[in-house]
């Protein structure tokens, strides 16, 4: 397991017309091994940019990210990604998708197949392991994506709107599954979402970011993720702190969106 330090990260995109976008400015975070943190904020506040920097897909223009004390300089199996959709191999079976990482790493089949089967059990896909990915529903495909990520045994799992394309009921079931996997595996997880409920239910830490420049606006430490491991998520929402926190964050993001709209309408 791994601690993750995001140390004074800035990211500036220079545009062809000579202007630039300051996508992130001075973002610092210390994420302990096994923490689950969700990230919220209005469109364009730098959530995906931050995740891509931690993943090693983008090099920041300032600062650095460290895992287990070493600096992130590119993608690595220690950091797994789960995207909203489209990142699976549609022409392969469920089992071949989940075993893809260990296979590509050149590991012996007898070493990893037991774990692949276990993961298929955990995500509830044991009966579907011979199916092709295109035969599965969206929710099942995201279960495959989670299992495939876990098969690489990453220290840190980065999720960019992993449940965003699912219908409400499937999404709720998947939220419970994410909590179960988090508890069972002890992985460090960062999850980007546009849903305030999802951020509250899945984040023991919730980061609210602000745009222009992208930065940390406020951070919460909440009991709901821990409670949700063993309870129905609808019961967790009955917690006395849930509705007021939700309302506070909703107003916060609403105000930011209004400010952005005002600036845009004013021509800034
Ligand atoms: N490759 C790029 N070149 C130029 N500008 C970029 C690039 N990538 C991101 N940006 C800009 O950086 C800012 C942050 O983008 P980012 O996608 O990280 O935001 P976000 O919070 O994830 O947004 P959303 O919620 O809409 O997905 C935006 O203004 C975006 O237009």
Residue 177 above 50 pLDDT?
yes
* Band (159; pLDDT cuts 50, 70, 90): very high
48 and 180 together in one domain: yes
Q: How far does the centroid of ligand 1 lie from the alpha carbon of residue 237, in Å?
A: 31
Averaged over 30-44, what is the pLDDT?
96
- Counting from 1 in the atom list of ligand 1, the atom nearest the Cα of 24 is 14
**Residue 63's pLDDT is what?**
98
Write the residue with the smallest CA distance to atom 29 of ligand 1: 44
* Band (165; pLDDT cuts 50, 70, 90): confident
Q: How far does the centroid of ligand 1 lie from the alpha carbon of residue 46, in Å?
A: 6
Pocket of ligand 1 (CB under 6 A): 13, 21, 23, 41, 43-49, 214
Of 132, 153, 174, the domain-final residue? 153
- ipTM higher than threshold 0.90: yes
Of 153, 171, 188, the domain-final residue? 153
Contact yes or no for 228/201 (Cβ under 8 A): yes
140 and 25 together in one domain: no
Averaged over 226-248, what is the pLDDT?
97
Domain ranges, residue 136: 82-153
- Number of structural domains in the chain: 2
Residue 2 above 60 pLDDT?
no
51 and 168 together in one domain: yes
Cα 171 to its chain centre, rounded Å, is 14
Residue 66 above 90 pLDDT?
yes
Residue 267 above 60 pLDDT?
no
134 and 256 together in one domain: no
167 and 104 together in one domain: no
15 and 129 together in one domain: no
**Residue 266's pLDDT is what?**
55
Residue 169 above 90 pLDDT?
no
178 and 49 together in one domain: yes
Contact yes or no for 182/189 (Cβ under 8 A): yes
135 and 165 together in one domain: no
**Residue 259's pLDDT is what?**
86
23 and 137 together in one domain: no
143 and 257 together in one domain: no
Of 97, 119, 153, the domain-final residue? 153
Residue 1 above 80 pLDDT?
no
Write the residue with the smallest CA distance to atom 27 of ligand 1: 43
Q: How far does the centroid of ligand 1 lie from the alpha carbon of residue 43, in Å?
A: 8
Domain containing residue 225: CATH number: 3.40.50.300
188 and 107 together in one domain: no
25 and 63 together in one domain: yes
Single pTM value for the model: 0.93
Q: How far does the centroid of ligand 1 lie from the alpha carbon of residue 7, in Å?
A: 20
**Residue 264's pLDDT is what?**
66
Q: How far does the centroid of ligand 1 lie from the alpha carbon of residue 55, in Å?
A: 16
114 vs 117: CA distance, rounded Å: 5
Averaged over 179-189, what is the pLDDT?
94
Q: How far does the centroid of ligand 1 lie from the alpha carbon of residue 214, in Å?
A: 9
Averaged over 152-162, what is the pLDDT?
94
**Residue 265's pLDDT is what?**
65
**Pocket test residue of 47, 165, 207, 253 for ligand 1, highest count of atoms within 8 A of CB:** 47
- Counting from 1 in the atom list of ligand 1, the atom nearest the Cα of 11 is 12
DSSP 218-268: EEEE-SHHHHHTSS-HHHHTTSTTHHHHHHHHHHHHHHHHHHHHHHHHTT-
Averaged over 7-29, what is the pLDDT?
96
Q: Which of 85-94, 178-187, 209-218, 259-268 has the lowest mean pLDDT?
A: 259-268
> Interhelix angle for 109-122 vs 168-185, to 10°?
130
Residue 152 above 70 pLDDT?
yes
């Amino acid at each position: 397991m791994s601690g993750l330090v995001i140390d004074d990260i800035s990211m500036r995109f220079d545009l062809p017309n000579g202007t630039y976008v300051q996508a992130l400015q001075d973002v610092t975070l210390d994420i302990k091994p096994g923490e689950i943190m969700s990230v919220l904020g209005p469109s364009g506040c730098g959530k995906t940019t931050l995740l891509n920097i931690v993943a090693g897909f983008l090099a920041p223009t300032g600062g650095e990210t460290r895992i287990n004390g070493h600096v992130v300089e590119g993608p690595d199996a220690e950091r797994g990604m789960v995207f909203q959709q489209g990142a699976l191999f549609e022409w392969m079976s469920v089992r071949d998708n989940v075993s893809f990482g260990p296979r590509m790493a050149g590991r012996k089949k007898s070493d990893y197949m037991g774990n692949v089967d276990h993961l298929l059990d955990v995500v509830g896909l044991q009966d579907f392991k011979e199916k092709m990915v295109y035969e599965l529903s969206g929710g099942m495909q995201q279960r495959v994506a989670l299992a495939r990520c876990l098969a690489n045994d990453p220290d840190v799992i980065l999720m960019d709107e992993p449940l965003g394309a699912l219908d409400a009921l499937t999404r709720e079931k998947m939220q419970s599954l994410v909590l179960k996997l988090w508890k069972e595996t002890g992985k460090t997880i960062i999850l980007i979402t546009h849903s305030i409920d999802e951020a509250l239910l899945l984040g023991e830490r919730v980061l609210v970011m602000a745009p222009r420049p992208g930065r940390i606006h406020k951070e919460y430490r909440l009991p709901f993720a821990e409670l949700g491991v063993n309870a129905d998520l609808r019961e967790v929402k009955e917690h006395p702190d849930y509705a007021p926190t939700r309302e506070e964050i909703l107003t916060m993001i609403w105000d930011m969106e209004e400010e952005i709209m005002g600036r845009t309408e004013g021509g800034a």
